[in-house]
Copies of this chain bind each other. A is one copy, B any other.
Amino acid sequence: MNMLALRCQGDLIVIDAGILFPGHELLGVDVIVPDLTWLVDHEDELRALILSHGHEDHVGAVPYVLSELNPPVYATAFTEALVRRKFDDHELEEEPDIRRMVPGEKFQLGCFTIEPIRVTHSTVDCVALAIETPLGVIIHTADFKIDQTPIDGKLFDLQKFAEYGQRGVLLLLSDSTNVDRSGFTPSERTVYPAFEDIFSRAENAIFVTCFSSSTHRVQQLIDLSVEFGRKVSLIGRSLTSASELAHDLGLLRIPDGVMVRPQDLSRIPKDQQLVIVSGSQGEPMSSMSRAAVGTHRHAVIDEDDIVVLSARVIPGNEKAIYRMVDHLCRRKADVRYGSQNPPLHVSGHASQEELKLILNLVRPKYFVPVHGEYRQLSQHARLAAPLRDNGLEETFILTDGESLVIDEFGARKGSEEIPVGRVLIDMGTGDEILEEMVIRDRRHISEFGVIIPIVAIDRRTGEIESGPEIISRGYVLSEDGELSLDAARRVVEKTVEGSSREEVADLGLMEEKIRTDLRRYFSRKTSRQSRPLIVPVILET
């Protein structure tokens, strides 16, 4: 859910607008987008939204931002194409104003001059940003690794970083994702030998699952297929879409006659198939998950077919991925997953030596590690500490909603508290935005169950006309015994009967009394950890 705002002399620019995929604890939530309250309050100052690259955690919230605000959006060709495709699913009131960004070509936004700088990463057409301000230059690396031998031949622009470093940089913001890995991240090209080995030995179909936007990986698999006489089929909507866009822009080279449509796979001999399938994280409805349980029409995995999981395991997805691998093993597929040597996957993020290299090329006065959890930011800060001898004055760890103020007196954390809540989106109810309260209720019920005591009261006499009924869901109440429906009913009866006419006339008060008495009853009869959600209902007849 990356989003960074820079403000200077009444000009405001925003870098990236990402989404977050929720964990298990956010029940029923499909995606999470940043809270835009502060941006909406500063709409008149907003000059642009600049996108560094096309990954969902950097561009996924663009449609949401453009439904609330209408700044021009700057993006490189591939990122622009990915974002435009998003608008097919969203209706916007105004046509979005998307402007092409080209590495090395500067542009002006109020008092900011922006130069996009080419970097390498796991997807194509990624840039860092050099931002000239009246106080000095700010460099934001965004996501990167330093791939010395990139698949598309487009080198990381080390010279530009050096040039800005030479001239002096006020502030560096740098990617912390892989700060806990020593050494250099291997080149994307490193996976070639392991796949070459598989292609040269395989006597059956080869299936590979990777991230949809891993265009470099797809390129290598296409190249190997050409070399070994296999046909390539892409399965999965986002994978097909991203690969088409890359191909249209000349970023993915596909020789004629190598691709086959998924529905034509059955006509190709198994030992001439290379099938790239989306769903590397074991997402329940993904093509790969369905293929693993044998319910995908076109991705048909047979005994001794090779299946390669060529993607990192995003923390939290382990169980889903392993469940998928289990299913593949039951089908007797030859599954390659986990760490292998030589590797079948390499990361797109810089390791410690690359991070130090950037720090030393840029030699900033101030440093803010970005993109990572607190432990990673603090490790990145520690990594930068030796630079103090070379001009680094201070490192700031900023958590969500914190700001850094730089003026002629130096840099310090801002005192303004920026609202940065999460906005939870439930696709199921049609882009409905869920309140945190709804989620809290769901979580509460999911842990302890819900109990609904219902009673109909005669509004004239104040007496129970019908009930009490007790409905419970997700909570164990028996027909008899200590923790029984009967006993709970009697608790409610006693509450109503022990109340005065005035109390009974006040429905809100009565509901609270019933809730309190029942809660006390349950916590006495069970342990303190059992706290069902209690929702009393009183009907007046």
Contact = CB atoms under 8 A, between A and B. Distances in A.
B446 A28 contact: yes
Given A445-B450, A446-B443, A471-B535, A429 B326 contact: no
Interface in A512-541: 526-527, 529-530, 533, 535, 537, 539-541
Nearest to A27: B446
A407 interface: no
A338 interface: yes
Contacts of A442: 445-447, 449, 473-474
Contacts of A25: 24
Most-contacted residue by chain B among A180, A446, A469, A527 (CB, 10 A):
A446
Interface residues of A, number: 66
A373 interface: yes
A374 interface: yes
B434 A466 contact: no
A509 interface: no
Contacts of A539: 454, 456, 466-467, 469, 539
A250 interface: no
A316 B318 contact: yes
A529 to B, nearest CB: 4
A473 B450 contact: yes
Contact of A427 (B375, B465, B467, B527): B527
A476 B439 CA distance: 10
Interface in A412-427: 426-427
A153 interface: no
Contact of A326 (B325, B330, B373, B448): B373
Interface string A378-419: 110000000000000000000000000000000000000000
A473 B454 contact: no
Contacts of A338: 180
A137 to B, nearest CB: 29
A430 interface: yes
Contacts of A429: 475-476, 483, 526-527, 530
Given A24-B25, A426-B530, A442-B446, A378 B316 contact: no
A136 interface: no
B426 A373 contact: no
A101 to B, nearest CB: 34
A526 B449 contact: no
Interface of A: 23-25, 27-28, 180, 315-316, 318-319, 322, 325-326, 328-330, 332, 335, 338, 373-375, 378-379, 426-430, 432, 434-435, 438-439, 441-443, 445-450, 452, 454, 456, 465-467, 469, 471, 473-476, 483, 526-527, 529-530, 533, 535, 537, 539-541
Which 7 pairs, one residue from A and one from B, show the smallest C-beta to C-beta distance?
A446-B446, A428-B530, A442-B474, A24-B24, A428-B529, A27-B446, A315-B318
